[in-house]
């Protein structure tokens, strides 16, 4: 259901670090948003060093954007952002001042997976049960 995109300059993160960050984002998301880990997608978007700017100069931030379904308690989305940001700093060693985590959301019925419209938050159990029938 969710999609996380981690954008960095190329060579910022090695393969093991990317795998570890993907695993921890998946664990945190599954725990807080009650989604099986099998539905959590994490993409690393690595751009050339001169293709990423902060304050108008080439820079090396870690920009993490996530999409979630509308309807989760807002405080939970804040907690998700905090935990993902903390994990990102711990795993990558990138200082927290260079880590930005942003969530966007839209209605579950604006999304389709497995050929079916996604369930609203709280309705995952019936949706998941139907997936295995």
Residue 34 near a copy of itself by CB under 8 A: no
The answer to whether the beta carbons of residues 66 and 4 sit under 8 Å apart is yes
Residues 42-81 that bind a copy of itself (CB under 8 A): 42-48, 50-56, 58-59, 61, 63, 65, 67, 74, 77-78, 81
Binding flag, residue 17, a copy of itself (CB under 8 A): no
φ, ψ dihedrals at 111, nearest 5°: -140, 145
Tokens of 13: 């993160």
By CB under 8 A, is residue 40 in contact with a copy of itself? yes
Interface with a copy of itself includes 130 (CB under 8 A)?
Answer: no
| Member of 17, 32, 85, 128 binding a copy of itself (CB under 8 A) | 85
* Structure tokens belonging to residue 63: 């920009």
Return d(Cα 65, Cα 23) in angstroms, integer.
16
């Amino acid at each position: 259901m969710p999609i996380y995109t981690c954008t960095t300059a190329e060579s910022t993160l090695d393969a093991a670090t990317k795998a570890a960050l993907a695993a921890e984002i998946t664990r945190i998301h599954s725990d807080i948003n009650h989604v099986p880990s099998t539905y959590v997608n994490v993409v690393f978007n690595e751009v050339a060093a001169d293709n990423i700017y902060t304050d108008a100069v080439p820079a090396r931030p870690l920009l993490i954007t996530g999409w979630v379904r509308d309807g989760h308690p807002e405080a939970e989305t804040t907690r998700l952002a905090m935990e993902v940001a903390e994990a990102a700093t711990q795993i990558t060693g990138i200082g927290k001042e260079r880590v930005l985590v942003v969530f966007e959301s839209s209605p579950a019925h604006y999304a389709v997976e497995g050929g079916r419209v996604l369930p609203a938050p709280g309705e995952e159990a019936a949706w998941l049960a139907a997936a295995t029938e």
